[in-house]
Chains A and B, each alone.
Chain A
Amino acid sequence: MGGIKFIVDMGLSSLVYAAIFIFAAGVFYKVYFEYYKTPQPLKIPQTPQPTDSFGVLLRMAGDVLFFRSLAKGTRLLFAAGWVFHFTFLLLLIRHLRYFIYPVPGVIAALGNASVFIGIVMLLAMVVLVVRRFLEERVQYVTLVADYFVLFLIIAIVCTGIMLRYEPFRPDVTSVKAFTMELLNPLTPLKLITMEPAHAPSCLLFAVHLGLVCLLLIYFPFSKLMHSVGYFFSPTRNMVNNPRSVRYINPWDKG
């Protein structure tokens, strides 16, 4: 028993650290070297684009928070997409309770609704999957990778919901102890000396966490980069004032 537990502890801890590293390094590389450092030669903002920076900020906020550009098109996609992202955010916030001590009241309150939120999120995702499957035009452009992400997240949510119930339910204090241990900067060093953090003894928990790690590793190499990429989108983040303020082309300063 001790042997298996050691292997699981070792495996999970290493996976978590590897995933976080690949995620962080990958996203940083993409954002810094590929998005930020790549020059944008000309002003190409897109109507309706405000003529001052504050307006542009508002527009981008509208896009990010309320999916305003998307709302102009297909209603169903807008609704399902927005619900999916919003519930995703709520569940992320809720997971902070495993990292913060003492748990803030807001997060604790969310806890009571989390299964409900999870189910709403699942429903939204089912709509997204079915849509890809049934809508002729979307089906045509859908790739395996698109289903892969959807099903990966569905699996994460399903395991997450199951973890709330017996017989899968792990001991919450042991989960919290595990995350606290992982947060300790000394823990990764202890991996070398073969003293991994102690994972809760719960198979489903290991699966849930493993899938999350897979998502993190996949993230920087995939379309999931849209989350950060949006902020660099020149049709959305440039101010519509090309005549009054000269924009300099970084590779043609003439």
Chain B
Amino acid sequence: MAEENAPHHTGADRTPNEVIQEYIKYEKIKYYPVELTGEIKVPKLTPNSMIMVKPQLLTGKEALERLGYPVGGLRPDWKEVFLAKMGEILKKYRSVKLFLDICVRCGACTDKCHYYLGTGDPINMPVARQELMRRVYRRYFTVPGRLFGSKFVNGEDLSEELLAIWYTYFYQCSECRRCSVFCPYGIDTAEITMAAREILNSVGIVQKYMHEIIDKAQNIGNNLGMQQNAIVNALEFVQDELIETTGIEDIRIPIDEEGADVLFVTPSADFFASPHIESLYGYAKVFHQAGISWTMSTHASEGGNFGMFVHNYQHMKKINKRIWEAARALKVKRVIGGECGHMWRVLSSFSNTMFGPFDYLDPKYPRPQHICELTLDLLKRGALKIDKSANEEFTVTIHDSCQVARGMEMGGTEFGQFEIPRGVIKGVCEKFVDMPENTIKERTFCCGAGQGLLGDDMLATRVKGAMPRMQAYHYVKRENGVNFLALICAICKAQMSKMLPTYGFDMEEVGGVHQLVGRAIILGAKEGI
């Protein structure tokens, strides 16, 4: 009978959680890479083309409790909690408040997002993504909205359906900030996405991949959840490999050595993932050859900080804290960070606010310092003996990681984050070519998996989001014979080593900048600085 099929009959006796769980049920989605032409075309709108992508939910009770998020899915009283959380964020983050207020919907950002370019889904246009939150903002947080309701202000009342849309599209933004470069007011969708994710968390919709890692990083100490002895084993294994391949007896990966000059932190993926580990060899060789005493730490065994991906300040702070605790405990003079995009943003831009001033570190050096800053300085001073012919087979290009390119400064200058990694590459390779101008430097495209989207459940999004970068790489490969894509980010490395084969390239063509450095360094025979 018609009446039985009416939606209010089926919906009335279900809890909000049951309703939302049906909306956001995870399904595996097939993905197809596009044919590469070397050109990035702006697609036509194809509404709802990515609406079926729902990342997996975190359901582990203990993890949710430790994170301070509701257990058991969507809270029955979620609407109040939602508005309270949103109100709190609007009071604590000028960025969010202002950006919700001043967008004029000029459309300058609409074709700037790699997810829009890859999918054509209109909600992946940055301004449309922001509008998801702005609709709620106008309805509940502006005077006309409160007085006259949704219709009048183009707002939207809270509903489970809206939540599902939020969960879908705020997890199709890698917070890469490319849109913000072109916005006349610098509106940064990343800030909105971070806020939206925290609001979703507060009502009990917690994405699995990234929050599992936030939990592990806080409570175990690294993203992979490795216990201390596992870390020591892994690093000892790396050291053995190094000694074996280089034939140098005293090359080391020191662990927890008090009194070393340098505490070195890097994403834990560098300990054994490929191609990450090649960069770890590179770092060790640089330290060894420069004669710098350094150490890694089992307490701060993770450089990455997924806490940055969501406006939950406390999580980010707690993860970051381990590094500064280790720095004090080991009595080091400098802290140096390895190759990782968002890690560098947290270290360079946020650490000082959260845990500075770093007056116990050596004021002669930037605090903290990026490994590329160190290596370039050593190269310039001639402190490393380099044989560029070791990289002869490569014509190299660099993917400017979005979090480094737009995350912030390196080398104390406005464009250091572009010049320094390029300087290092040119210092160890003969042939370097940049990708087209609109895909690098401040306009760089994200790899497509950053800021919490690297999970396997997100593969469809990842493949589409990687399209602009793949086109640009294809272009320089065709035009200039480029055959090595250098990276300075652990997530980029993981993503690219999966995307290159997906798009028909050889997986071996991707690697870290310090992988190239490591190959070219001539160990031993020091001629003094």
Contact = CB atoms under 8 A, between A and B. Distances in A.
Contact of B185 (A74, A146, A236): A236
Interface centre among A50, A70, A230, A235 (most CB of B within 10 A): A235
Contacts of B412: 51, 241, 243-244
Contacts of B349: 42-44, 242
Interface stretch (B98-106, B230-238, B469-477): B98-106
A85 B368 CA distance: 44
B220 interface: no
B350 A49 contact: no
Given A72-B181, A73-B182, A141-B128, A48 B442 contact: yes
Contacts of B108: 70, 73-74, 77
Contacts of B125: 137, 140-141
Contacts of B177: 46, 235
Contacts of A225: 101-102
B438 to A, nearest CB: 9
Contacts of A40: 93-95
Contacts of B8: none
Interface residues of B, number: 69
Given A140-B122, A223-B103, A44 B409 contact: no
A145 B353 CA distance: 40
Interface residues of A, number: 63
Contacts of A46: 177, 180-181, 186, 188, 406
A242 B98 contact: no
Interface string A18-56: 000000000000100011001111111111111100010
A137 B154 CA distance: 18
B193 to A, nearest CB: 13
B110 interface: yes
A99 B355 CA distance: 54
A242 B95 contact: no
Contact of A235 (B93, B180, B354): B180
B97 A35 contact: yes
Interface stretch (B77-85, B239-247, B375-383, B413-421): B413-421
A43 B98 contact: no
A67 interface: yes
A186 interface: no
A242 B348 contact: yes
Contact of A242 (B111, B409, B414): B409
Contacts of B143: 221
Interface in A194-232: 221, 223, 225-226, 229-230, 232
Contacts of B97: 34-35, 38
A144 interface: yes
Interface centre among B93, B102, B357 (most CB of A within 10 A): B102
B366 interface: yes
Contact of A72 (B92, B182, B409): B182
B330 to A, nearest CB: 21
A138 B184 contact: no
Contacts of B122: 137, 140
A144 to B, nearest CB: 7
Contacts of B317: 252
B107 A138 contact: yes
A233 interface: yes
B194 to A, nearest CB: 10
Contacts of B191: 44
Contacts of A251: 92
Interface string A53-88: 001000000010001011011100100010000000
A112 B99 CA distance: 40
Given A41-B313, A243-B348, A226 B409 contact: no
A81 B406 CA distance: 26
A198 to B, nearest CB: 35
A147 to B, nearest CB: 11
Interface centre among A35, A50, A140, A251 (most CB of B within 10 A): A140
Contacts of B92: 38-39, 41, 251
A174 interface: no
A137 B112 contact: no
B353 A140 contact: no
B186 A47 contact: no
Contacts of A240: 408-409, 414
A133 interface: no
A91 B42 CA distance: 38
Contacts of B367: 243
Nearest to B126: A141
A210 B206 CA distance: 51
B352 A233 contact: no
A50 B414 contact: yes
A223 B184 contact: no
Nearest to B410: A243
B34 interface: no
A168 interface: no
Given A140-B122, A233-B98, A44 B188 contact: yes
Contacts of A146: 104-105
Given A51-B413, A233-B186, A38 B102 contact: no
Nearest to A36: B94
Contacts of B280: none
A146 B153 CA distance: 12
B183 interface: yes
Contact of B101 (A49, A140, A144, A229): A229
Contact of B127 (A69, A141, A243): A141
Given A69-B182, A70-B108, 6 more contacts: A43-B408, A51-B413, A73-B108, A230-B184, A233-B98, A233-B187
10 contacts: A39-B94, A41-B93, A46-B406, A47-B417, A70-B184, A72-B443, A77-B106, A131-B107, A233-B187, A249-B354
Q: Which 6 A-B pairs have the closest CB atoms?
A: A235-B186, A138-B107, A229-B102, A226-B102, A73-B182, A137-B110
